[in-house]
Amino acid sequence: MINVLNVAEKPSVAKSVATILSRNQQHGLRVREGRSRYNKIFEFTYVINGQPCHMLMTSVTGHLMELEFEDRFRKWHSCDPADLFSAPVRKFVPEDKIDIKRTLEEEARRCQWLILWLDCDREGENIAFEVMEVCRAANRYLTVRRARFSALIDREIHEAVQNLVSPNQCFSDAVDARQEIDLRIGASFTRFQTMLLRDKFDIDAAQDDRNLVLSYGPCQFPTLGFIVERYWEIQSHEPEEFWTLNCSHKSDEGIATFNWMRGHLFDYTSAVVLYEMCVQEPTATVTKVQQQEKNKYPPYPLSTIELEKRASRYFRMSSEHTMKVAEDLYQAGFISYPRTETDCFSSRTDLQTIVQEQQPHPIWGSYAQRLLDHGEGLWRNPSSGGHDDKAHPPIHPTKFSAGETGWSQDHHRVYELVVRHFLACVSQPAIGAETTVEIDIAGEQFSASGRKNYLDVYRFESWGGSMIPTYLHGEQFIPTTLTLDSGVTRPPPLLSEADLLSCMDKAGIGTDATMHDHIKKLLDRFYATKDPNTRFSPTNLGEALVMGYDDMGYELWKPNLRSTMEGDMRRVSMGHKSKTEVLETCLQQMKACFLDEVFLVGFMSLAFFT
């Protein structure tokens, strides 16, 4: 029997995996303390591909190591901020995780295998290599293998341990590149901005006042840029008055509201002339009646960004809170891994079994039964959204729940959203009948439309529109109302959280696992505020920072530069570019901006605020 050290990313995951694998084992699950009181060690026996194993399962708590400058560069006044683009950096285990490191070293010395159970995304892969480094330093003869899983359920865990793979160096390198780029760029620009402000206002740098730190982040600033740009668009909007003709007709079947097909006119005199023509000859003649079937297609399988956007739109939950709730549900085994860019299911996924597990539910269980009834004809293989991160499937339910008693309202909401979204994406499109009626009044064209539709399971979406009375081609009637109404053009609304996530996703700012963090940082650093309707406004400080860069002609607040960086890091993760190549390119580009004399002089404009 060989000794196998298993390491998970969190204590709760270690306990879940150990519980699943030890079930029905001869000696059951034994628990003992490690060096860290939060990271216990679970022991049990297990057979991996015919090999009897004495399994030791423990955990880390996220990243085991931190990346930082060497000590002589860590103090703010120790060097010119420009030196930070090339100053030596090191990865080390911080003091608060030394006990976890000691546990790994002690257990690794008496094991022959190391199995990594870290989350199966880029960040998890990087943590896996941190664990490998510590364990191999204690025992260089370890055989290292990787368990790949997307849900903490029996089927997935047993399958993962019987199909171990090699760790992915490219995934880890992509994270190393991002960490170093963000550290160097963030530290250099943050120190420069903050020291300039302190010098300008003669502020003691020793004061421990976080409000005096003007942080710069290569993802954070473009995110702020989206908010400021929309705010400027609203501020610069000049309302313009317009006029439009409105017509309605009431019959025994209801009221039809007809819209002027010209839309509206900005010339009042022209609008009045046309209105008076209609009033003088008000008889309406039906010139067109068109009926057609409309399909509303179900959503694509659920990715992280789509989960965050929909939770914000339907429940007004912040993206940060949504991810915390989703993580809780994942660790409890109720949904699959919630950080995924994938919006298409593999042909190997047993979709019908997932539906079958929802049949007992008192609300949507009957719909799940209808989906599996071939006579109903409701089933449809889900469409592909065209994104596959090669790490995890779309978010989907992994265990039935009729309503866990310990859950908050938000846990129930997110679980229901995941289940209903999954059931919707394996359903036929909703079918609606739409009728369009066009009429002529004194040569002016008006139209009305109405529809009837159904969406059985996805209660979060619906078709608008109302029933429209029956009209025949050539029919004539006198409108019930015919009015000339005025209005003013309106600016677009402030960006909602769903809008902001869409902007970030489209521009390639951040990843599915980090976007909510970048938004939270803007709020924490008081660069932006969020109102009760989840709409963002820049603070004076946030606007001034963007204005300072914009006045100098620098587009560091625009998404282009970071989007290119994120694309390069994706290429590293796919093995198409090396970490060294990407680091050199990105840092040279940013250092050139930093050293530009125009930048150094122009940045003084940022010091106009207090």
Q: Which helix (H) or strand (E) holds 567?
A: helix 560-573
Closest CA to 115 of 139, 154, 148, 93: 148
One DSSP character per residue, 512-540 reads TTTHHHHHHHHHHTTSEEE-TTSBEEE-H
CA angle 79, 85, 91 (to 5 degrees): 95
124 Cβ neighbours under 8 A, 6+ residues apart: 9, 118
For the chain, how long is the longest CA-to-CA vector? 99
d(C-alpha 85, C-alpha 595), whole Å: 11
Q: Which residue has the tokens 């696992």?
A: 513
Which token pair is 189? 């620009």
Dihedral pair phi/psi, residue 395, rounded to 5°: -70, 130
Chain centre distance of CA 276: 53
CA angle 185, 190, 195 (to 5 degrees): 140
Instruction: Tell whether the torsion through CA atoms of 264, 268, 269 and 275 is positive or negative.
Output: positive
d(C-alpha 347, C-alpha 336), whole Å: 17
98 Cβ neighbours under 8 A, 6+ residues apart: none
**Active-site residues: which are they?**
337
DSSP 8-class letter at 166: -
Which token pair is 496? 């909602």
d(C-alpha 316, C-alpha 323), whole Å: 13
